[in-house]
Structure 1
């Protein structure tokens, strides 16, 4: 389990699949990923976010890491732009 420090937040990436009308699943590797993630854990100085919040963050910010075949983004709270409801 990742436990962020200070004003950092751990996000998981939202899985994005695109299906055609006939049910064929298209891969998303060739296009840019959307900057939407789900909060996994928050640091002690983060007060506006909680685990399971869906958020929009600045593209190309934070540090990506892979643990147990899961990819996470560790990002400062100031780089999270909005909660997506």
Structure 2
């Protein structure tokens, strides 16, 4: 099943955080901070159809999004987040 966002929305999937600290200490899931870097999976037509917005982001980009933005969705055992383009803070290169 696929998710196709509407308007100026973007579907992202959080990239899992490291489970170890730099010194080698293993962190339990409860002690880990939510990852802020996500991968863009799909983009709405409100972005691809707009000449000013279409070059700003594309599927496959790694982005940093606002912490408490969007709607989390679980589909086929995978967790996705649907956010507005305005909630994307930066692209990680």
TM-score range, shorter chain: 0.7 to 0.9
Query: For the aligned residues, what is the CA RMSD?
Result: 1.7
Higher normalized strand content (fraction of residues): 1
1:53 matched residue in structure 2: 61
TM-score by length of 2: 0.80
- CA drift at 1:50: 0.8
Unaligned runs of 5+ in 2: 48-53
> In structure 2, what is the Cα distance between the partners aligned to 1:29 and 1:53?
28
2:87 matched residue in structure 1: 79
Higher normalized helix content (fraction of residues): 2
Unaligned runs of 5+ in 1: none
> In structure 1, what is the Cα distance between the partners aligned to 2:78 and 2:8?
22
TM-score by length of 1: 0.86
